[in-house]
Amino acid sequence: MSSRDRWTAADIPDQAGRVAVITGANTGIGYHTAKALAMHGATVVLAVRDLDKGHSAAQRITKAHPKAVVDIQELDLSSLASVREAAAALTAAHSRIHLLINNAGVMYTPKQTTVDGFELQFGTNHLGHFALTGLLLPKMMRVKGSRVVTVSSMAHRIMAAIHFDDPQWEHGYNRIAAYGQSKLANLMFTFELQRRLAAKRKSTIAVAAHPGTSNTELTRYLPPLLRPADRLLTPLVVQSAAMGALPTLRAATDAGVRGGQYYGPSGIGEQRGHPKLVDASKQAHETELQQRLWALSEELTGITYPV
């Protein structure tokens, strides 16, 4: 293996002077993403729902790296009102935003809706991030080389489709398929955003990543039938959250990254290992579906993009 095949956090270039906004950064992959960027000089904004947990995460980062600059921003992706308030606060506080990392998510939740009436996984994982990105993008496009990195999942291949006839799962609900829909939406959003940015000849790029099988809190809603298998397989295939953060970090910082790319672990089945360029499903690349999803997302969120 070459050194580029074993990319680690040590390969992150100097981030001094850069502002990185990371959703769900108080725990798991988001926390390790924030910690690594702060360690390399970025001003990191932990955009979190629970302020107490956000402050605790910030304290852990600054204790390990006393020179780190870490801010907290309250953000509940399941509320469009909260997304608008957070975006307004972020644009007021920062003259430039170099990185937006759409990391937060929920997985396999029982049937629930957001305050706006969206199915919780689709509403949080996709629509909340769609709205936040649209509101922050005007400021990001002023910054040469800025990036929007959205975290997807291998689950975009599992029982995954965009249910245009029933996106909120009002007529029947399958938590695994609903999660797959939200993660497929993350990728379709990334590819369509990149197409629009490129058409406007913007230097801002959109990139996607997935963490493989990582040890995070996402599995707390795992269906009971899958829990025995999860306990059995965890020691064999699950990697640390710090390793799971590497594809996101490479997508966010590697000078060789190009818009529309997708990064994930290099090991068997992309479950673990150092980050590399990986392939999304054929469905994720279907332009017509991407554009239908975009139109639906604008309609549901009320957010119109400047591209």
Q: What are 45's strand-pairing partners?
A: 21, 71
CA atoms in the 13 A half-sphere facing the CB of 264: 21
| Residue type at position 306 | P
Coil vs helix vs strand at 112: coil
- DSSP per residue, 133-167: HHHHHHHHTTSTT-EEEEE--GGGGSS----TT-T
The span from the CA of 242 to the CA of 265, in Å, is 12
CB atoms within 10 A of CB 269: 12
The span from the CA of 51 to the CA of 175, in Å, is 28
CA atoms in the 13 A half-sphere facing the CB of 161: 7
263 is known as an active-site residue: no
| Residue type at position 263 | Y
Q: Which token pair is 99?
A: 């990185």
CB atoms within 10 A of CB 116: 17
Q: Point out the catalytic residue in the list 31, 108, 179, 262.
A: 179
Pairing, β 275-277 against β 262-265? antiparallel
Catalytic residues: 179
